[in-house]
Structure 1
Amino acid sequence: MKRSPLRIFLILTALLLACQPDKPIVQKNVVNDVTELNPIKVANIITPRTSTEIIKAVKSHNGPISIGGGRFSQGGQTATENALQIDMRKFNRILSFSKERKEVTVQAGIRWRELIQFIDRYDLSVKIMQTYANFTVGGSLSVNVHGRYVGQGPIILSVKSFKIVLADGSFITASPTVNNEVFYAAIGGYGGIGVITEITLSLTENYKIEKNDTLMNIAGYKKFFFSSIRNKPQFVFHNADIYPNSYTKVRAVTYARTENKLTVTEHLKPNDKNYGLKKFAMKVVAGSDFGKWLRQHIADPLHYTGKVVEWRNYEATYDVKELEPNSRKKATYVLQEYFVPVDRFDSFYPKMVKVLKSNDVNVINISIRHANKDTGSYLAWAKEEVFAFVIYYKQEVSDTEKAKVTQWTRALIDASLSEKGTYYLPYQLQATQSQFSKAYPNAESFFKLKKKYDPNYKFRNKLFDAYYNCKN
């Protein structure tokens, strides 16, 4: 049927308007996260710009204190009721830099995007970060993030040292050799030990990388990774996307160092990019089984057609805006993540699929990552070499739906624990006390350190409200 230009214009306009996000209502002294599922009323919010201001606030405030950055944790890990909220996002300066030593010191509230914009001028890049560059560096340390970097693992592996404000207001340096118990407790410690303020990171070179992808049966992925990707120094980024709802196919995407000519000449992804089309595609995938089929059989084959050569820093500057739904009033997009030892990949995977299918979970994507063993953080999620399964899904916001999510989340945690694995703590706090203790057996040692450095339980958030007994 032939459509008039006016009709085509109206259809395109309707699609564009459908992808305009609703802005959440901002309430005074209410802290929420990206999911908008966890509004928390705090007593007051401060936005320091210097370490001196943070020290003064910690010393003078006798009640609870919580610490927030980009607020991408999804279970209240950045706030608790009636606390003084330290919003770190204006605490974002670069303090020192050495190109020769490949080292930079930054304030903890700086976003990765801001840091990469600076070091890109000197042909340098970060060693480890999460996929998206909107997070604050301090927040990334607090949850001990990882990304798609081949041969790497949690961010603790690239941190040289940091300064931290403890509960009594003392201001100390921590590193693997100086105040090392604070170092290993604060990284991955979710703000429970103190306020991380100034962070020194190791850097690496920026260079050209070329993308390649392979579609395969999931049953062959582990063998492929071990034979073709693992311990190969030419590979920089790698992940594999599992296609729902069949969960039988996976697309492995790898970026290798190259000297080939650039096909993308920009050094960084643009700050002001319009993600309307990307959001619409996400909406289609989340909206139906047919949308998921379209992605696997039409959209992705087109997307991965052609040669791509770009800068390493370009691949490090993704924006979370591309993941945002138009509205979170009735439904929202949420993450979960599970880690299993690499030799348990094939036994964990069918258990995960069984839980997702039997509970009709509306999975948008599952990304497989790889991480080397943690060097010693108390709440380590990589207690050995692991595969990570990052589940991105859509859920409704009703109490009934929340209860259903809790039920199948606990089933997934049990599946991971049965394979000597664990789950990631930055997401919704649905694990039972028993599951938390089994997944993080060093938690008691961490809590003893928290008691030592924070005897009056000053640093709090919903994670500690759920699992920390301050009276012990």
Structure 2
Amino acid sequence: MKFIIFLWSIFFSSILYAIPMNDKSGLSLTEVDQIIKISENSSIEVLQKVIREARKNNQKVTVYGSQHTQGGHIFYNQGIILNLSNLNNIQRLSQNIIRVQSGATWKQVIEFLNPLGLSVDIMQSDYDFSMGGTLSTNVHGWQVNKPPLIASIRGFHILMADGSVRYCNRQKNTDLFKSVIGGYGLLGVIIDVDLHVIHNHLYELKQWVIKTEDFLPFFKKEVQGNKKAAMFFGRFSLDRKNFLRKIAFRIYEDTEQQAKNQKLSEYRWVQSILNWFFSKTRKSDFLKKVRWEIENNFLAERLFKSLSRNQLLYHSVDNYINTQEGYTDLLQEYFIPIENFEKFIFSLRSLEKDMSDYLMNITIRHVQKDNESLLNYAPQEMVCFVMFFRGPKTKDFDRKLSLMAQKMTDQALVLKGSYYLPYRPYQSKQQFEKAYPRWREFKNIKLIYDSSEVFFNQFYENYFGEKLKQD
């Protein structure tokens, strides 16, 4: 009888204390043991105690800031989550270097820099993401002729599995520097980041609508060969008649004039209109055409002709994120060598019937070569395809998108390209290993510093498998 009561108490306590968690996909429901929100006044000793207790009790630890990944990167079953969103202090170290705590968002960084006449060098197209999460995913942006984020990182402090705090840069702890950036939180807790910043200049818009087959010569002239080009993206037409046959080609040129603390306006009323059109275009060919005309022949020219760099970067994902209950937004990104651009377009057109009910947007960016990070998606200069899908929050939609993603990944790999890791784990382990050939080196470095695998998440479990033997 006592044994039955004992078993019941274990079962009951697991129900009582299990905390359901999900990520932005809404498809990764996981039960964790604890979520520990670190206060802004907490000392390093508080984090060290958590790590020490987790190691002692053989528990797994993950970290999150703004929770925007979609592939189980921020939790593990029955694990401990550290919420660092309150660690958001920012300070200026020198003329062009700031130190940002890992929980601060780009919104907070831009608001700090704007009165100083400074701006971010490399970041995503939206400001909602935390510094720790951004570093852990080694993001790219729509800045022209820029490598991923690692190029603008001057150093960072990280709390290791053994409780020590290390400073990592290109001269000290270099193996950690190239592993932690783009390492998805698997080597420790990022405390703060030293970031290179630049002047906040005024930019002028230039835009064209071109045929897709004209992209390469246009790109070489207006982006690669244009010293004034500072920001670039392209957006594809998605209506049935013109599916991937037109590109709205948009660049912002640097006037080299210093911006004077302009108001960081987001044109919320405009974004509300665009969001309505965006949400309705999923199954309406007519509204896809209307949205195309509004975005390319009205709004950009009239409202966004001349803006500061900070105004361009001061933009939230809330402007277009799904609010319809029962639906989810999922992203996929593919990096393709510039010379293989047209071949990848051809492969995407072959999937039009599969994608048409779910594909909301495809934009293209430019990413320069990354010579540093181990989990490196840009070993050469690339064009990036950012693909935005919306569908019902069901296993069937998840399965359909998984099949499409595997086909697109196969084609990207054939073309000597790659794909991005923060999203749903649709790619096979074989595809991952081919896209990221230095994965073994990354794992060996992790096991040197975290032999007990305290820092562990679903992404790691999916793609890194069993422990490797140490040499």
SS of the equivalent of 2:350 reads: helix
**1:54 has 2:50 as partner:** no
**1:206 has 2:200 as partner:** yes
**1:124 has 2:118 as partner:** yes
Query: 1:324 maps to what in 2?
Result: 321
Deviations, residues 344-366 of structure 1 (Å, cap 9, x unaligned): 11222211221243454521111
- Counterpart-to-counterpart distance in 2, 1:396 and 1:238: 32
- Counterpart-to-counterpart distance in 2, 1:238 and 1:270: 19
- Counterpart-to-counterpart distance in 2, 1:364 and 1:256: 28
Q: Is the 8 A contact 2:200 2:258 kept in 1?
A: no
Deviations, residues 166-210 of structure 1 (Å, cap 9, x unaligned): 111111010111100000000000001111111000110001111
Query: 1:84 maps to what in 2?
Result: 80
SS of the equivalent of 1:305 reads: helix
Give the 3 Å change call, closer, same or farther, for CA 189–265 of structure 1 in structure 2: closer
Query: 1:13 maps to what in 2?
Result: none
SS of the equivalent of 1:438 reads: helix
Q: 428, 440, 446: which is aligned to 2:424? A: 428
SS of the equivalent of 2:388 reads: strand
SS of the equivalent of 2:195 reads: strand
Gaps in structure 2 of 5+ consecutive residues: 1-16
- Kindly state the Cα deviation for residue 328 of structure 1 after the two structures are TM-superposed: 3.9
Query: Which has the larger displacement, 390-399 or 146-155?
Result: 390-399
Q: 254, 258, 261: which is aligned to 1:257? A: 254
SS of the equivalent of 1:61 reads: helix
**1:33 has 2:23 as partner:** yes
**1:241 has 2:235 as partner:** yes
- Counterpart-to-counterpart distance in 1, 2:463 and 2:156: 26
Q: 312, 326, 339: which is aligned to 1:315? A: 312
- Counterpart-to-counterpart distance in 2, 1:315 and 1:384: 27
Give the 3 Å change call, closer, same or farther, for CA 223–361 of structure 1 in structure 2: farther
- Counterpart-to-counterpart distance in 1, 2:452 and 2:200: 45
- Counterpart-to-counterpart distance in 2, 1:470 and 1:119: 44
Superposed, 1:16-415 pairs within 5 Å as 29-48=19-38, 49=40, 50=42, 51-62=44-55, 63-94=59-90, 96-100=91-95, 102-245=96-239, 246-258=243-255, 266-270=262-266, 275-306=271-302, 308-329=305-326, 331-415=327-411
Q: Is the 8 A contact 2:26 2:393 kept in 1?
A: no
Deviations, residues 430-469 of structure 1 (Å, cap 9, x unaligned): 1111111111111111111111111111111111110112
SS of the equivalent of 1:82 reads: coil
- Kindly state the Cα deviation for residue 77 of structure 1 after the two structures are TM-superposed: 1.2
Give the 3 Å change call, closer, same or farther, for CA 352–280 of structure 1 in structure 2: same
Root-mean-square deviation (CA), in Å? 2.1
Deviations, residues 127-173 of structure 1 (Å, cap 9, x unaligned): 00001001001100000001000111200000000010111111101
- Counterpart-to-counterpart distance in 2, 1:29 and 1:277: 37
- Counterpart-to-counterpart distance in 2, 1:218 and 1:168: 53
Give the 3 Å change call, closer, same or farther, for CA 77–328 of structure 1 in structure 2: farther
- Counterpart-to-counterpart distance in 2, 1:105 and 1:390: 30
Percent identity between matched residues is: 27
Q: Is the 8 A contact 1:265 1:310 kept in 2?
A: no
SS of the equivalent of 2:234 reads: strand
- Kindly state the Cα deviation for residue 299 of structure 1 after the two structures are TM-superposed: 4.8
Query: Which has the larger displacement, 139-148 or 75-84?
Result: 75-84
- Give me the TM-score of the superposition, normalised by structure 1: 0.89
- Counterpart-to-counterpart distance in 2, 1:134 and 1:28: 28
Q: Is the 8 A contact 2:136 2:180 kept in 1?
A: yes
- Counterpart-to-counterpart distance in 2, 1:285 and 1:266: 33
Amino acid in structure 1 at the alignment position of 2:439:
A
Number of residue equivalences:
442
- Counterpart-to-counterpart distance in 2, 1:157 and 1:369: 17
